[in-house]
Structure 1
Amino acid sequence: MPAEFDETEDLMAAELALGLLDGEERAVALRRMLAEPAFARDVETWRLHFAQLFDLWPGVEAPEDLIERIDATLGGPGTDRRPSRLPWPLLAIASSALAACLLVVIALRPEPAPVVFTPAPAPIERSGPVLVASLDYEKTPIASFYDPARGALRVAASPAIDADRVAQLWVIGADGVPHSLGLLTRAATALTVPAANRARLAAGAVLAISVEPLGGSPTGLPTGPVVAKGALSSV
């Protein structure tokens, strides 16, 4: 295990990858994904490890008599109660198994391959509730951050595309129609969202990136393939 290993941070990345965080803990983890490339890399590494575990051990439905069999191994149920059929015992068993798998992966996981991240613009000062999204792109999600009070939008990276093409960012709101937010640079991009589009950037709206000709889409709608997308969440 490397000397710089930080168990607390590593577990936070694993918990975020498993969807175990909520409330303020999840908000903190999502902000760290935006601000810390190494942490974002750890989250994606955990996702890949857990995906491999799910492939090795597919889900199996629990037998109907599982509770009775567990009671029998513990000496049987009490004389003044009937065997419980509530779901919480199954949840407890599943949580214990998941914790055991997590410890095994922590002990045995290989070192991730080095990933090169481009520098991001200076952090945007937070002035109130913000929206974040993780856009699915190949094996490396693209993080985005939007401050509604300032109309400031930051996208942490851009898809790898040919030199004669450009990545264009879109928002798909309640009307289901893509609206252009601007073109992305080859590295991180900071945009000021036009007033007409700010109302469309709300929790549940989808950000998408398409590959377009130089100068952007000539039609006002995506003309090339959509290579990344993700829904906005409030934090």
Structure 2
Amino acid sequence: MSDDTILPDDPGRDPDMMAAELALGLLDGDERATALRRMLAEPGFAQDVDMWRARFGDWFAAWPDASPSAAVWARVDRSLDAPRVPQADAVLRPNRWWPAATAVASAIAAVLLAIVVLRPAPPQPVPAPAPVASAPLPTAPATMLVAAIDPGEKGPPVSAVYDPATAGLRVSAATLADANQSAELWIIGADGTPHSLGLLRTTGASTFTVTAANRAQIAAGATLAVSLEAVGGSPTGQPLGPVIATGKLSQV
């Protein structure tokens, strides 16, 4: 694998491994919440996440499907059933699998070393100030909401991230409408009525600041939907065209 297949599109910037870990689904808990907030606050980080998702998708698609032969499964079964008794002369017998095992181990070690070298050092913790008796207790951060909006045959799911603390909503890049239509995003909350959040961009990610009237509708279990409307969106405030993608919001 050459260097230009793992670095970001900007050759002058080191790769942000948190973006790669988020794209692979390796983060959870506070780390995942931090990464999702960075997607809303840092356009460069959000572009890195989209880049990693696209490249990982290309790699997974290019990797050929392969199934182990019956002989391999038979050897696995025999190795599981056989008693594990050390052989005194085992070190003297040649093993024809040893070169292959050594090569695989070397490759894994090289990948791990690259991740350790390229990953930036974690920030040093800042000591918390001494509590003041009269100071109010800090409030817990608002819970992030995410959704995977599935457009079916039109492409892979589109990710949406909502931060209640800032009322910011980010929808990843997707081409869901042609030049003769507009893709409009709706929230369907507890009242069961679609409320327009705005039009999705035809290129790049879409960002919205949710109005005060619509914030009450955005909660875990609410549905995000995309409909195809005339250019400029529905003039009635309700979807007139077909709904092509939906996804439910959940807490992270």
Q: TM-score range by the shorter chain?
A: 0.5 to 0.7
Deviation at 1:68, TM superposition (A): 5.3
* 3-state secondary structure, aligned to 1:145: strand
Structure 1, unpaired ranges of 5+:
80-95, 108-125
Structure 2 distance, partners of 1:102, 1:229, is: 42
CA contact (8 A) 2:146 2:159 kept: no
Cα deviations across residues 128-184 of structure 1 (Å, max 9, x unaligned)?
Answer: 22323465686895644241x78x353467866567754422124579x66123333
* 3-state secondary structure, aligned to 2:186: strand
Compared with structure 1, are the counterparts of its residues 144 and 16 closer, same or farther at alpha carbon in structure 2 (3 Å cutoff)?
A: closer
* Aligned residue in 2 for 1:210: 227
CA contact (8 A) 2:40 2:169 kept: no
Compared with structure 1, are the counterparts of its residues 37 and 59 closer, same or farther at alpha carbon in structure 2 (3 Å cutoff)?
A: farther
CA contact (8 A) 2:185 2:197 kept: yes
Q: Does 1:145 align with 2:162?
A: yes
Structure 1 distance, partners of 2:236, 2:66, is: 47
Matches within 5 A, 1:113-152: 128-133=142-147, 135=149, 141=158, 143-147=160-164, 152=167
Percentage of pairs with the same residue: 37
Q: Does 1:58 align with 2:65?
A: yes
Compared with structure 1, are the counterparts of its residues 189 and 173 closer, same or farther at alpha carbon in structure 2 (3 Å cutoff)?
A: closer
Q: Does 1:5 align with 2:20?
A: no
The two structures have a TM-score, normalised by structure 2, of 0.52
RMSD: 4.5
**Paired AA for residue 63 in structure 1:** W
Structure 2 distance, partners of 1:37, 1:71, is: 54
Structure 2 distance, partners of 1:102, 1:211, is: 48
Higher-Rg member (1/2): 2
Give aligned pairs, total. Answer: 187
Matches within 5 A, 1:190-209: 190-194=209-213, 198=216, 200-209=217-226
The two structures have a TM-score, normalised by structure 1, of 0.55
Deviation at 1:207, TM superposition (A): 1.4
Structure 2, unpaired ranges of 5+:
4-10, 87-103, 116-139
